[in-house]
Amino acid sequence: MVAASLKITLPNEKITFDQIHTAFANSSHGKFLNQAVRYGRYQEVAGLAKEAWVALLGPDVNNLEHMTFTDGLTITFLNSCSQAVKKGNHNDAITFSPDEAVKLRLTARIHDWGESIKGHYDITFADKTIQDEEAEHKALQRILRSKTRAVVTNKEDENALVRLMRTALKEIATDRTTKLGKAFNAIERLGYLSTGIKAFEVRPIQEKKVSEGLAWLTTDVFLNQIEMLCSYKVSYPPVEEFLQHHKITISDAFNDLPEEVFKYYPAEKRDSMKNRFTQVRKVWFASF
């Protein structure tokens, strides 16, 4: 299986993931997300305009292109798992059929569509609750059919695609207990960590306020992602590979991130966040 070449097979035709993305991007919902940024509270500290923020950190911080970025991570994840299976690792958690791979890639391409609806704009990872995710995906359900009509040419295929999208949202994007839901959660966390690492790498050459915003972003990402990814690396070879590839940078960040960034947390949470960071740092250095 070559993950990048997969298509979605419907009763009467095959469609590509780019077709789905283009249909959404050209809609009012897609145009809204294209004007929005992720990691907004760190951007505010940095004092950068949206365009400068995206130019500095890349497509993952553009709310529309984030989904294409996540699909790229999903392709890499699937290919790495496939290679591990070929080498003799037959763990069911990393053995994905073409149908499962299609569902993972589709989830990557549509999982944040709900944020284009008023009241469901991007919420920082640490602040997002299960209730937030459920509300976001209920909102997303309402726009699925209108977007599929821009891609397929008949009602039978439209209904099939809507069913597939609903499955992707219900069983993968919002349910981390399923095989595919857990895998997608690992992929999303790799995305967060990738941007956290990027922020640390570009931080030294920035002016003070920008540097502080980037340092806070990296600190918050580490707080929310490192411990779980260290757990996931046991099951998922691509997680192990990613962490090994970036272990020097991550270790440097744990040692170099300034303590002053904790001032951006609410006063009543600062001590607990500092303690939590120390705990996560211990987990990291015990793992690598």
Q: What is the pLDDT of residues 38-70, one digit of tens each?
A: 999 999 999 999 999 999 999 999 999 999 999
* Through-space distance between the first and last CA atoms of the chain, rounded to whole angstroms: 32
pLDDT at position 120: 46
Angle at 38 (CA atoms; ends 71, 172), nearest 5 degrees = 40
Q: How confident is the model at residue 205 (pLDDT cuts 50, 70, 90)?
A: confident
Q: What is the pLDDT of residue 134?
A: 63
| Separation between Cα atoms, residue 55 and residue 3, nearest integer Å | 28
**From CA 32, how far away is CA 271, in angstroms rounded?**
37
